[in-house]
Amino acid sequence: MARRRKGEAVSGWICLDKPENLGSTQAVSRVRRAFGAQKAGHAGTLDPLADGILPIALGEATKTVPFMMEAEKSYRFTIAWGETTTTLDREGPVTASSAVRPEPAAVAAALTRFVGEIDQIPPDYSAIKVGGQRAYDLAREGVVMDLAPRRVVIHRAVVTAVPDLDHVEVEIHCGKGTYVRSLVRDLAAALGAEAHVARLRRLSVGPFTEARAMGLENLEALCHRGEALEVLLPVETALDDIPALAVTDEDAFRLTQGRSVVLLPRQVETLAARLTASRTVSALSRDRLVALCEMRAGRLNPTRVFHL
């Protein structure tokens, strides 16, 4: 007999405004406990020293996390001129210093070189695996690494504020895998300066924005009062970019049984015009998410089934 999973069968997304000095895994644990949920996960690690948007999936929403890992993101961060650190942020020991303080106009001009597809070397202090170990663990042990560059895309990068001569604030909109700390490292090198990230805030992850965000303490208070379901976003929130198709009750049952369904010619034509290379379709019955499917040869083949 299968062991019953502990917790409540709560499913949906929380757009958490993660506070500073809290790890992403710790944040997920606190949200899961607050809801008493059976399972939880997050869509994209946010460093403890950073704050901002951390989408957290509960229950059946965890099946949609892979789609959010591909989502575009936006950040606002403050660059501190004068010192470079081991971690490329304010946490690590200083490795180099300089009196160079680039003019805001020079910073704005240099940023344009990083807009578009670029090759970026991740920071040594990152979660990338090297020989089966996390790079940040090896870096703490003093291991010298030669991380390979990765192709990333930055859609927009602009100077948004200049608090003083020692700092400049920048906002970027970028694709997956982009490291702000690496961008600051490379930007400083292009300007002949030393710098590190003094503050970092994530403004959005796909459809999860500040307008939808909820602070952790406020969320825990709502859960304590039994009102937290009011801020729980639907499982399909993470599937905004995936074509949806309404199916009959009979077809919904077939899909939940792991069986494919035959589409009408007009359905195939409508979906084909909206499909991406993945050919993924979300099947809904009475506005309820039933399954994620792959459309092939006029059929929907279920790849992930939801129990909502």
132: left (phi over 0), alpha (psi -120 to 50) or beta: left
Rounded Cα distance between 235 and 215, Å, is 20
Catalytic residue of the set 47, 51, 124, 251: 47
Rounded Cα distance between 119 and 152, Å, is 6
Rounded Cα distance between 137 and 271, Å, is 46
CB-CB neighbours of 241 under 10 Å: 13
- Burial string for 36-74 (b: 16+ CB within 10 Å, else e) reads ebbbbbbbbebbbbbbbbbbbbbbbbbbbbebbeebebb
Q: What is the dihedral of CA 274, 277, 279, 284, to 10 degrees?
A: -50
- Angle, vertex CA 230, rays to CA 225 and CA 232, nearest 5: 110
240 noted as active-site residue: no
> Annotated active-site positions, please?
47
